[in-house]
Amino acid sequence: MSLVREKTGKLHYFSDYSKFYYRSSWMVHFRSCGDGGGSGKYLDYNFIQFAKQLMKGLFMSDQVLELLPEINEIKAKHLREKVIACWAEAVEYRNWTNAELKSIPFTLLADNVKIHFIEHVRTCCKMAIACDKVLDDAYGSRKTAVNRDYLIAGSLLADVGKLFEFEKKADGTIIKSEYGKHIRHPFSGVGLAFKHGIPSEVMHIIAVHSKEGAGEKRSSEAIIFHHVDFIDFELVK
Ligand SMILES: [Fe+2]
């Protein structure tokens, strides 16, 4: 058990979430496991479960932000939090660690791929922002409107469904899961996004970013993301 974070000098929690301690000014001390707690005061079970979830949420949020710092480019706090929530749930689905996530190949559709999945997600997001900035500089007020927050959120969520589509074997190799053979990531991504209240404009980017979106009328944000995604894919495959 190790200390992973301290906040405001008062809050301490541990990486296995199994125990945590809160020291208020009058030194109330409690333990979630109810093991006697020494000098501590045992608190209501529901409160402790709530607090454990809160701690877990903070831990997952840190893990996701470490993985995808571009989330911080989203200006709207509520959208930022929803994007984090989507990624946190997808990461938890197969208990991926950040080290594992950083080693997943970008695609299983080609051999000897040297680019990794997370690198691809981050790079496409950065390319999408760069495109939007170039268009801003070039055309100013004549530019077709692009919602930068939606563009970033969509870029970061387009492939989040791959964490359901992919599966890790005991030897560490990554394969397509049975689930993934039936539901490709644009569909699982939209399902996850819907659950977390992601705006429909962002779900649209997820839905039409890949071959499934061919023939659909894409929004300006979806056009930008679709193209940067395929630049990266076609240069790698
Ligand atoms: Fe994709």
- As a whole-number percent, the residues of the chain with pLDDT over 70 amount to 80
Distance (angstroms) between ligand 1 centre and the Cα of 158 equals: 6
Mean pLDDT, the chain, whole residue set: 83
Q: Which residue has the higher pLDDT, 136 or 58?
A: 136
Query: Which pTM was predicted?
Result: 0.78
- Dist. CA 56 → ligand 1 center (Å): 28
pLDDT 10s digits, 220-231? 999 999 999 999
Q: What does the pLDDT read at residue 42?
A: 55
Tell me the CA–centroid distance for residue 135 and ligand 1, in Å. 24
Assess whether pLDDT exceeds 50 at residue 184.
yes
**Per the structure block, which two tokens stand in for 64?**
């996701």
The Å distance, Cα 38 to ligand 1 centre, comes to 52
Among 98, 65, 101, 95, which residue's Cα sits nearest to residue 81?
A: 65
pLDDT band at 110 (very low <50, low <70, confident <90, very high): confident
**Distance from Cα 61 to the centre of ligand 1, integer Å:** 23
Residue 16 has pLDDT above 60, yes or no: no
Q: How far is the CA of 161 from the centre of ligand 1 (A)?
A: 8
Q: Hey, what CATH class is 68-236 in?
A: mainly alpha
Q: Determine the pLDDT at residue 227.
A: 97
The CA 27 to ligand 1 mean position distance, Å, reads 50
Q: Which of 111-139 are b and which e, b meaning 16 or more Cβ less than 10 Å from the residue's Cβ?
A: eeeebebbebbbbbbebbbebbeebeeee
| pLDDT per position as a tens digit, 145-155 | 999 999 999 99
> CATH 1.10.3210 in the chain, residues?
68-236
pLDDT band at 5 (very low <50, low <70, confident <90, very high): very low
- 44 versus 89: the higher-pLDDT residue is 89
Is it the case that residue 162 has pLDDT exceeding 60? Answer: yes
Q: Any idea which residue has 């594992």 for tokens?
A: 100
Confidence tier at 173 by pLDDT (50, 70, 90): confident
**Which pLDDT value is given to residue 67?**
96
Rg (CA), the chain: 21
Partner residues linked to 21 by β-bridges: 12
CA of 162 to the centre of ligand 1 (A): 8
Q: What is the mean pLDDT of residues 38-63?
A: 70
69 Cα: distance to centroid of ligand 1 (angstroms): 19
Res 55: pLDDT: 72
d(CA 138, ligand 1 centre) in Å: 29
